[in-house]
Amino acid sequence: MKEHIVFLDRAALIAALRPPACEHTWTDWPDTPPELTAERLRQATVAVVNKVRITREALARAPKLKLVAVAATGVNNVDLEACREQGVAVCNIRGYAEHAVPEHVFMLLLALRRNLVAWRESLRQGEWQASGQFCLFRHEIHDLAGSTLGIIGHGSIGAGVERIARAFGMTVLVAEHRGAPDTRPGYTPFEEVLARADAVTVHTPLTDETRGLIGAREFGLMKNNAVLINTARGGIVDETALIEALKTGRIAGAGFDVLSAEPPPADHPLLNLDLPNFLLTPHVAWSSREAMQRLADQLVENIEAFVAGQPRNLVV
């Protein structure tokens, strides 16, 4: 049987895609607005998506669809319950960014702990040039060595962060699930991680359980010299609470690669948060050229495995 594969947002993946080893047609769309999703999937047996939403309504109008192959790890853009009800399998990509995202985490972490943005601004203002000594002591600098990193979410990316942290000489605490009745060996209770860590980094998927995982209460548990890194999903952190925590000095800084709305509207409050201790990048931690090629290769392998009757990386 010939598979009809439709990639709804091909522009989201800068990588070469080899043809799957099965009889197929393949249609690429650079991007797909919501009103065209159902029409473009009408004859598809396999839908490939990165961030395009696959809704219950779109699924109802795609009677031939058998597989949604998500070209990402997160699957919060797919109505999983509707897929279960309609017998549509969903698979995702795993492990491809185990180097890219951890490196981005440490780019943000080093910039915050060593006050990179503030130092750059001091130079722009001519403060070093006007100084009476060989260096400035305008902004605090802290070492990573000897500090404590709390990791929330310990999959392949969280484990990659841990490896780098230990190479820097950091103490690592891996958080147990919030509210868990017991703490697994090698894990630390969630609240204790927040209280002890000099830096906290988030690596969980966005689910009903993790939405709003870090809010005003959690910021209240953190040290006031701690920083928060989020390269996972925007909805995991309460953004209003984050702004308040930064402006009041409840925490020392934050580095984010994700927002609750993407792409964000021009008036998104975090876009306009002009503070030297807040760093924002546009959801690019995952997107090194090497990581994207690994993603592309695994995507095709997932499709081939499904067609061969040996599905892998299934979410549904």
Residues with catalytic function: 233, 262, 283
> Which residue from 127, 19, 77 is spatially nearest to 234, judged by alpha carbons?
77
Contacts of 251 (CB under 8 A, 6+ apart): 219, 222, 223, 224, 226, 227, 228, 245
Q: In angstroms, rounded to a whole number, what is the distance separating the alpha carbons of residues 93 and 71?
A: 6
Query: What are 227's strand-pairing partners?
Result: 199, 253
Angle between helices 100-113 and 289-307 (to 10 degrees): 150
Residue 161 has φ and ψ, to the nearest 5°, of: -65, -40
278-280 and 253-256 strand pairing: parallel
